[in-house]
Each structure stands twice: as structure tokens, then as C-alpha cells.
Amino acid sequence: MQFSLSNLFQKILGRALIDEKSLEEILNQFKKILLQNDVELELVNDLIKRIKEKAKKVPKGLTLRENLIKILYEELVEFLGREKGEIKGKKIMLIGLFGSGKTTTCAKLARFFQKKGLKVALVALDYHRAAAVDQLIELGNQIGVKVFWDEQKDVYGLAKRSLDLLKKYDVLIYDTAGRDALDEELAKELKKLGEIIKPDEVLLVIPADLGKVVRKQASEFKKLVGITGVVITRMDGTAKGGAALAACNASDAKVKFLGTGEKIEDFEVYDPKRFVSRLLGLGDLETLLEKAKEAEIKPEKVEKVVEGEFTLEDFLEQFENLQRIGPLSQITKFLPFTKFDEKILEQQEKKLKAFKAIIQSMTLEERKNVDILNESRIKRIAKGSGTSEQEVRELINQYRTMKNLMKKFGKNLKKGDLKNLLKQFGLNL
């Protein structure tokens, strides 16, 4: 695959600036990836449109970048499954292309129910491959689950009789023959089996590394017996599970389970965060999403600062935010245009505590307009905050300098650039 979701996400994370132009570029790439994974064009277009709409409105507390990651994550989860993969019902049928991992998954699933304390039986419905029944019996033996099969290879007869087993068992798992859904004879058999058994769940088993054929196979299988869920096997390989995109899209079903190896225990219940993280090659998507929630950015503040119109109250708030993020000198290093004097920044760090006390000693009126501060008021504030008059004056000067600096930047830079730039670094300025 030329492009991958994980490459795209690394790009989003690595970009210094995500603006409207790069958003367009990123979405184009996202579109290409989906199309390469054989997702329907119409659906891809809808998806991109929706993402664009959502990306326009950056919610309070999120940067453009965090918002974009969140939106893409949400959309993928909507597509692949929002719920942890639980299944309901008593009759579960596994279908899929030959060698996709059906028989192995039958045993894994049986173990899964067994662990829940349910009484499970396996029903062997594959009489096309010589060793298929033996394979299932062997797997059943490993976990102490009974396997029902028919000596006469009467697949329909066994299917009918299996319904009686429901009196004795909580769950029946049916292993079907590996097939190409386009093979007419096998397709007929599967359709008939579906009609006899009337399964509660039909799970389509798809290997993570299956390519272009996924879409066609999934939609054929859907026509034959319907599909209620998808199992992605071979998640232990290099493929990240992109096949799930086409499988879910074509079958209109969500991912329920994952196969992560050849052993019976190598089985996972689908978990949206984990699966999408793996698909995107992001180990810490959860942390990232949480961080996105926590960040607090107020767009109206950015506007004020750019205009050079922020008050001492805003100044105090910024100080407090900066304190949470890290040393001011560290942060401004990232800004490409920065002309801040390192020394001034360090001094600011040191004086932060005093400044905070000073601002807190001011009246609201004073915080909004420092020009009303005369000698006697300065004296009173110094006393009230346990600082010196000199420190109060310093604060006023710093504030004025900062305001002027911002005014200058505002003129030199396009407003959007500065806004976005500051947002990139989580600055509330």
C-alpha cells in the first residue's frame, strides 16, 4: 500500500501547522487511502464532506490538530464499530473465503463462551475439505467442547438435527466450508444452510491482509446469508487491519472479534480504541484523545491578543496556563518568528508568582485598565500583595510590552497564521 493510515497520522502529528490548506491535503490523502482499501467512492465522498464540516467547528478546548485527529477517529469508529464486540443469540455461523481462519475462529469463539460459563457445542458443516472435520474435532478436544458432525456428510441433515441441540446447549457454533463466494455450488449450499439454521449471528471471517477481493466477497456473502458481524484474523501479522474497512463497508456490519495468532487463546474482543489505534499506528491514541479533551483554548482570547487588546486579567490567565504547559522560554523556542528575549522570558518565569499576587490584589477595574493606576494605588497594591512598588511597576511595564509585541505581530502576520500557530502549541494567547 502506497499510503497508509498510520503514515497519514504521523504526518498530522508531525506537522508544525495544520491550517485549512493542509487540512485539504490531509483529507485528500485520507480519501486515497480509503479508496485503496476498496471503500465505496460514494461513501468516501460522504465521509470527507462530513469531516470537512466538522473540522470547521473547532470545539472549545481543542487545537485544530487535536480536533482533526478526534474527528478522523470518530468517523473510523462509526464505520468499524463503536461498541465493544459483543454478540447475541444462540446460533452463530462462521463464513468466509477459504483459509481465512473460520475453523480456528470457531474454536476461539467456543472458548470465549466457555469462559463466560456457557455451554457450547461446535457443529462441523465443512465436508468439502478432507481434513476439515478432523481439524474441528481436534480443536474441540483441546478445549473440551463437543463437536457434532455427520458420517454420511449429510450437511443439511446435520443442520436440521443441530436445532434440537439447542435444548441442551446455550450456544451452537457452525463451521462452514471455506469458499469463494462466487463459486456457484458452494454458494447454493451456504444459502440453504442459512435457511435451515436461521442463524442469530453470521460472522464473516476476513484476514487482516486480504486485499482487493474483500469488497466483492463480503457483498456476495451478504447476499447469500446476510452478515451480522466481522472477524478480522491474522492481526498478529504486519497488516494493520485495513481490510476491515472494505469488509464493514460492503457487509454493513461491524467488527466483533480479532484473531491475533494461531493458538486458541489468541483472540480479542473488538475494542474500538485499540483497533483504530492499531490501524492508525498510534500506540497512544487514548492518551491523545484524553489530552485533547483537557486542553483549554479560548478562541476569543486569541483574537484579543492578536489585536493587542488583552487585559491584565487575560495576562494572569495566560500565565497560569503557561505554568501548566511548561517554561515560557521552552515554548517560545518552537515559534519560528520569535524575537522574545530569552532573559526577559526567564525573568518572567521568576516573577510569575509575584505577578499573580499583584494582579489578584487589584480591583477588577484596575485589571481591565492599568492606566488608572496612580502612585497611591500602586502603593496599596504592593502592600496588599506583599511585593514592592517596583515589582508592581515592572508588571505594568511587562504587560504593556507584551501588548505592544502582540500588536506588532498582529500586523506582521496574517491573523489566522498567528492564531493557529499559537494554538498548535496549546497557547491560550
Ligand X SMILES: Nc1nc2c(ncn2[C@@H]2O[C@H](COP(=O)(O)OP(=O)(O)OP(=O)(O)O)[C@@H](O)[C@H]2O)c(=O)[nH]1
Q: Which residue type does 325 have?
A: I
User: Which H or E element spans position 52?
Assistant: helix 41-56
CB-based contact 240:9 (threshold 8 Å): no
| Backbone dihedral angles phi then psi of residue 405, each to the nearest 5 degrees | -55, -45
Stretch that binds ligand X, among 24-32, 125-133, 186-194, 406-414 (CB under 6 A): 125-133
d(CA 288, CA 204): 32
CB-based contact 207:233 (threshold 8 Å): yes
Cα–Cα nearest to 192, from 184, 121, 110: 184
Which one of 100, 103, 332, 424 is in contact with Mg ion (CB under 5 A)?
103
| Backbone dihedral angles phi then psi of residue 242, each to the nearest 5 degrees | -60, -25
Which one of 63, 67, 100, 387 is in contact with ligand X (CB under 6 A)?
100
Q: 51-90 mask for Mg ion (x: CB under 5 A)?
A: ----------------------------------------
Q: Which is nearer to ligand X, 262 or 307 (CB)?
A: 262
189 binds ligand X (CB under 6 A): no
Nearest-approach distance from CB 206 to ligand X, in angstroms: 10
Q: Which is nearer to ligand X, 247 or 395 (CB)?
A: 247
Residue 104 binding: pick among ligand X, Mg ion, none (C-beta 5-8 Å cut-off by kind):
ligand X
What is the distance, to the nearest Å, from the Cα of residue 67 to the centroid of all Cα atoms in its chain? 12
Q: Which is nearer to ligand X, 226 or 261 (CB)?
A: 261
Nearest-approach distance from CB 122 to ligand X, in angstroms: 12
User: Which H or E element spans position 268?
Assistant: strand 267-269
104 binds ligand X (CB under 6 A): yes
Nearest-approach distance from CB 262 to ligand X, in angstroms: 4
132 binds ligand X (CB under 6 A): yes
Instruction: Write out the binding residues for ligand X, residues 233-262 only, by CB under 6 A.
Output: 233-234, 236, 259-262
281 binds ligand X (CB under 6 A): no
Q: What is the 3-state secondary structure (H, E, C) of 109-168?
A: HHHHHHHCCCCEEEEEECCCCCCHHHHHHHHHHHHCCEEECCCCCCHHHHHHHHHHHHHC
Residues forming contacts to ligand X in the complex (CB under 6 A) are: 96, 98-104, 126, 129, 132, 178, 233-234, 236, 259-262, 266
Residues forming contacts to Mg ion in the complex (CB under 5 A) are: 102-103
